[in-house]
């Protein structure tokens, strides 16, 4: 039986790895680090930096593997992502099998941005791998980008006794402001989905690279600072070759 640990590592700051996560990393025989291409080399570099900061067990091997790119030609989004996940699962399986063939132990770990439960597909991919390899799965929770955003702006996530809607940039573009919501957190936005909604009465708290040295924050009425955020986002992406951002919007009567 292969023990597979999915370890939430927060938003890239080694200081935010939990003690449970550090223990799991040091218990692993193998830590797999995905490579996502030249334009996202910093992401692999951050994972390797976290490994250097947290792994003290000399027996723990750290190996990289190439992630496939998502097929942009398939028009159906869900079908495109499903096929992509199928291919990623095959890469995971190949990396694990190669490790075992070289005499490696059964404790394998993958480092997951934020928390494995929130807008991350590692659990779905692990389920695919388990159909071909005998896996015992452990999930180590991590600090989410939502937590980091609220901490960076020193704001509560919710209004008093009010619910919170967590959605994606794609959903906000396609369906608009969620019906009945007063607080909306938007993740996985390819860029500027907030510009598609009516800004009247909406305050936005935006952050890129939250919790990292490159952190950029802006907050204020959406109608006033929305264009500024779009410019900041474009400049940051050009400077780093990638961007991870998130924002919370609250609507007042």
Least confident of 35-49, 98-112, 142-156: 35-49
Q: How confident is the model at residue 46 (pLDDT cuts 50, 70, 90)?
A: confident
- Give CA–CA dist 111/13, Å, rounded: 13
Neighbours of 51 (CB within 10 A): 18
* More confident: 208 or 241: 208
| Listed range (13-17, 27-31, 138-142) with the worst mean pLDDT | 13-17
Mean pLDDT (the chain, rounded): 93
Angle at 158 between CA 157 and CA 160, to 5 degrees: 140
Asked if 51 and 62 touch (Cβ cutoff 8 Å), the reply is yes
pLDDT for 37 equals: 59
Q: pLDDT class for 38, splitting at 50, 70, 90? A: low
Residues 6+ apart with CB under 8 A from 103: none
Note the pLDDT of residue 67: 86
pTM comes to 0.90
Pair 64, 33: CB distance under 8 Å: yes
- Tell me the pLDDT tens digit for each residue of 52-109: 999 999 999 999 988 888 777 777 888 889 999 999 999 999 999 999 999 999 999 9
Residue 35 has pLDDT above 90, yes or no: no
pLDDT score of 40 more than 60: no
pLDDT of residue 116: 96
Domains and CATH numbers, the chain: 2-140 (3.40.1010.10), 145-251 (3.30.950.10)
Integer Cα distance of 215 and 222 in angstroms: 20
Task: Give the mean model confidence (pLDDT) for residues 244-250.
Answer: 97
Could you give the residue ranges of the DSSP H alpha helices within the chain? 19-27, 41-54, 77-101, 122-130, 145-153, 169-175, 222-240
Please choose, from the candidates 215, 221, 240, the residue with its C-alpha nearest in 3D space to the C-alpha of residue 151.
215
Residue 184's pLDDT band (boundaries 50, 70, 90)?
very high
How do residues 112-132 score in pLDDT, each as one tens digit? 999 999 999 999 999 999 999
For residue 167, the cross-strand partners are: 186
Residue 41, pLDDT score? 55
Report pLDDT for 217: 98
Torsional class of 131: left (φ above 0), alpha (ψ -120 to 50), beta (otherwise) = alpha
Residue among 207, 249, 213, 214 at smallest CA distance from 229: 207
pLDDT tens, residue by residue, 229-239? 999 999 999 99
């Amino acid at each position: 039986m292969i023990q597979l640990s999915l370890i939430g590592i927060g938003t890239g700051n080694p200081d935010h790895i939990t003690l449970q996560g550090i223990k799991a990393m040091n218990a692993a025989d193998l830590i797999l680090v995905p490579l996502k291409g030249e334009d996202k080399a910093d992401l692999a570099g951050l994972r390797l930096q976290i490994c250097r900061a947290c792994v003290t067990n000399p027996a723990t091997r750290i190996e990289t593997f190439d992630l496939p790119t998502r097929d942009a030609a398939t028009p159906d989004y869900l079908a495109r992502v499903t096929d992509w996940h199928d291919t990623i699962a095959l890469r995971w399986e190949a990396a694990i099998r190669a490790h075992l063939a070289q005499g490696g132990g059964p404790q394998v770990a993958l480092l997951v941005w934020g928390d494995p439960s929130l807008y991350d597909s590692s659990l779905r991919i692990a389920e695919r791998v388990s159909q071909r390899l005998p896996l015992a799965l452990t999930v180590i929770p991590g600090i989410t980008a939502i937590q980091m955003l609220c901490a960076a702006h020193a704001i509560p996530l919710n209004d008093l006794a009010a619910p919170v809607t967590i959605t994606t940039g794609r959903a906000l573009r396609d369906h608009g402001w969620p019906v009945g919501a007063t607080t909306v957190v938007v993740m996985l936005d390819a860029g500027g989905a907030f510009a598609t909604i009516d800004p009247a009465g909406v305050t936005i708290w935006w952050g890129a690279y939250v919790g990292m040295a490159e952190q950029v924050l802006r907050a204020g009425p959406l109608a006033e600072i929305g264009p500024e955020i779009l410019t900041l986002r474009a400049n940051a992406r050009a400077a780093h070759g990638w961007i991870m951002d998130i924002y919370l919007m609250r609507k007042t009567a």
